[in-house]
Structure 1
Amino acid sequence: MITYPFLKHNATIGVVAPSSGVPTDLHHLLHTAQHNMEKKGFQVQIGETAWTQNLAKSAPAEKRVQELEGMLTDPGIDLIIPPWGGELLIDILERIDFEKIEPKWILGYSDTSLLLLAITLKTGTATAHGTNLIDMRGESWDETTAKWINVLSTAQGEWIEQVSSTHYQKEWQFENPTPHIFHLDEPTIWKTTEKDLVKIEGRLLGGCIDVLHHLVGTPYGDVKKFRETHAQNEPLLWYFENCELITTSLRRSLMQMKLAGWFEGCAGILFGRSDANAPVQNYTIEVLYKELADELQIPIIYDIDCGHVPPQMTLINGAYAEVEYNNGKGKIRQHFR
């Protein structure tokens, strides 16, 4: 069984940095995010690690774990949102006491997704892959981003549906700020390796593939045990977003997962938009996706709203999802069962 936390009205958000914190010259971003979240009715408690950054991490591993576990076990904290991702969250996994973790939502992406997937695989508690705190500092949110509240407020036994965005942000324009941070100026078009309408369903698992493949073969990446213990051996529906991997690196990471058995019982794979995916000697991302689809005999839907090219849906690790693609558009219905 999967345990689903529930986001109550006027919740208290705990801000902790299990990966990277915010350097001094960018503290104004964190202040603005806190201010805007409080305007929307949330209470915000910011931990010490959110304000510091050195040696490619917010603080030594011991301090990051202490603050993270403190917020996870604090009954006054309803939801945890890191300021953003980073590079070295993997340092802390072996120090976390997963048996101490109280069911509460953790929301984030990029390096944070390493923590999210590890928690869901080891405990059966659902976690939320979606926007980070810094990207919610705008005066308003676009419809796709704003849906995170509705998703995390879905009760166990209920379902919620999200649809593909109308536009996405092709590139950052920091010199030209908008009320909702993002510059959503490019039409969103989902794509697939198939020729027609695609419908797939299964238990959602995924995150940033740059870091997730490092869980293969570790106690934090036991997908087989998760399926047996928490998912009744139901089919899996993987989703991945690529931050920095060129096509050959992405291929190696996917093959590592395949050889480790992560794709056994896989009904399909969703890939987010990416401005990485650089081709190598004509080995393009489209060729990679078709190869993988043929090898696994599954449909692949790509350029979905997920990852470092905003906006992004809120995808729940552990939820049972029904995904439909049709003519460049898509929708995802997540069942909290």
Structure 2
Amino acid sequence: MIIPSFLQPGAKVSLVATSGAVKELAALEKGVEIWRSRGYQVEFSENWSNRLGYLAGSDEQRRQALAQAWQDPDCQAILCARGGYGSARLLENWTWAKTNPKWLIGFSDVTGILWSLAKQGICSVHGPVLTTLAQESPQSIDRLFSLLEGRPLAPLIGQGWGGGKVRGRLLPANLTVATHLLGTSVQPTLEGVILALEDVTEAPYRIDRMLTQWRMLGIFSQIKAIALGRFSRCLAAPNSDSQSVEEVLKERLGDLGIAVIAELPFGHDGDNAALPVGTMVELDGDRGILEFFYPE
């Protein structure tokens, strides 16, 4: 896995709207200010304020903005403005230009871009987008910059479901987005990875349906372990007969015979701990600890 050059204050970074239209202008401004307060020069892509329905401009406009930032020799990192929807459309017929790899930071809908980079063997960051960055705790913000600037990462603590201790490459994703990427040209190899999953506002039966698809595809027999983040606001309709999302996760994932940790601090609606995509980690399913061997 290729790890891009670590950032240093003073470097130029580019804000790119890869997915949904940017509507949270105050939140975006606060996120940009955090980067500037750390000493970075934030450049706005030409498309950042574009709107085409729910998208931040046409596919070609978003593709051009990402390509321009990726090929800019002065740009050291790409900061995704927000999630929403649209990265999969951008990646249709997409080719990464042969250039010095650089950091790309995002989560949720940005999963598609993170996975596309992982397939190329390039490390990226599953972490806050600019419109959510200011909602993070100081500790979570420090963790993001520690990752990008090449400092060690503290382990994450969750609830262990058992399964012992295992090492593998970490592949984070939003469950819904990743499910729609399975079998596409964007999907990286899943053999031997430690899969980290999160989601938001999906009813329990939808989570059940997606995990059942993964089971029927045989993917859970290929991976080494599962790290579950936050499944926030994944609630059933009022007065409906339904299991809770916690019950669904336990029922669909608890019988796989692999190590699992739940309730890790990443995802929506709370601290979104930065995760280095594609790097080696150790997951202890008995003690509920996800440990990072970073940087190596």
TM-score (norm 1): 0.78
Matches within 5 A, 1:136-151: 136-137=133-134, 141-151=137-147
Q: 1:336 to 1:146 in 2, by over 3 A?
A: closer
Tell me the amino acid that sits aligned with residue 160 of structure 2: T
| CA distance, structure 1, for counterparts of residue 137 and residue 233 of structure 2 | 25
Question: Do structure 1's residue 334 and structure 2's residue 293 form an aligned pair?
Answer: yes
Q: Is the partner of 1:111 in helix, strand or coil?
A: helix
> Does the 8 A contact of 1:21 with 1:49 survive in 2?
no
Q: Is the partner of 1:5 in helix, strand or coil?
A: coil
Tell me the amino acid that sits aligned with residue 309 of structure 1: D
Question: Which residue number corresponds to residue 214 of structure 1?
Answer: 180
Question: Which residue number corresponds to residue 76 of structure 1?
Answer: 74
Q: 1:124 to 1:336 in 2, by over 3 A?
A: farther
Q: Is the partner of 1:98 in helix, strand or coil?
A: coil
The range that moved more, 55-64 or 198-207, is: 198-207
Structure 2 residue corresponding to 1:257, chosen from 214, 219, 222:
214
Question: Do structure 1's residue 274 and structure 2's residue 231 form an aligned pair?
Answer: yes
Q: 1:275-329 CA distances to partner (integer Å, 9 max, x unpaired)?
A: 23325734233332333334421122111111102212111221010134677x6
| CA distance, structure 2, for counterparts of residue 324 and residue 60 of structure 1 | 44
> Does the 8 A contact of 2:232 with 2:269 survive in 1?
yes
| CA distance, structure 1, for counterparts of residue 48 and residue 20 of structure 2 | 8
- 1:98 deviates by 2.3
| CA distance, structure 2, for counterparts of residue 30 and residue 290 of structure 1 | 36
- 1:109 deviates by 0.8
Question: Do structure 1's residue 3 and structure 2's residue 2 form an aligned pair?
Answer: yes
TM-score (norm 2): 0.88
Question: Which residue number corresponds to residue 185 of structure 1?
Answer: none
Q: 1:261 to 1:160 in 2, by over 3 A?
A: farther
Structure 2 residue corresponding to 1:311, chosen from 261, 268, 271:
271
Question: Do structure 1's residue 131 and structure 2's residue 128 form an aligned pair?
Answer: yes
- 1:13 deviates by 1.3
- 1:132 deviates by 1.4
- 1:133 deviates by 1.4
- 1:89 deviates by 1.7
> Does the 8 A contact of 2:12 with 2:75 survive in 1?
yes
Q: What's the % identity of the aligned pairs?
A: 22
> Does the 8 A contact of 1:274 with 1:309 survive in 2?
no
The range that moved more, 56-65 or 39-48, is: 39-48
- 1:21 deviates by 3.3
Q: Is the partner of 1:124 in helix, strand or coil?
A: coil
Matches within 5 A, 1:277-296: 277-279=234-236, 281-296=241-256
Tell me the amino acid that sits aligned with residue 161 of structure 1: L
| CA distance, structure 2, for counterparts of residue 335 and residue 163 of structure 1 | 10
| CA distance, structure 2, for counterparts of residue 35 and residue 282 of structure 1 | 43
| CA distance, structure 1, for counterparts of residue 194 and residue 82 of structure 2 | 25
> Does the 8 A contact of 1:275 with 1:309 survive in 2?
yes
Q: 1:111 to 1:332 in 2, by over 3 A?
A: same
- 1:136 deviates by 3.0
Q: Is the partner of 1:304 in helix, strand or coil?
A: coil
Query: In angstroms, what is the RMSD of aligned CA positions?
Result: 2.5
Structure 2 residue corresponding to 1:192, chosen from 160, 163, 181:
160
Question: Do structure 1's residue 239 and structure 2's residue 196 form an aligned pair?
Answer: yes
> Does the 8 A contact of 1:162 with 1:313 survive in 2?
no
Question: Do structure 1's residue 153 and structure 2's residue 145 form an aligned pair?
Answer: no
- 1:30 deviates by 2.8
Q: Is the partner of 2:220 in helix, strand or coil?
A: coil
Tell me the amino acid that sits aligned with residue 266 of structure 1: I
Tell me the amino acid that sits aligned with residue 175 of structure 2: I
> Does the 8 A contact of 2:207 with 2:245 survive in 1?
no
Tell me the amino acid that sits aligned with residue 160 of structure 1: P
Question: Which residue number corresponds to residue 96 of structure 1?
Answer: 94
- 1:99 deviates by 4.4
Identify unmatched segments of 5+ residues in structure 2: none
Q: 1:57 to 1:256 in 2, by over 3 A?
A: same
Q: Is the partner of 1:78 in helix, strand or coil?
A: strand
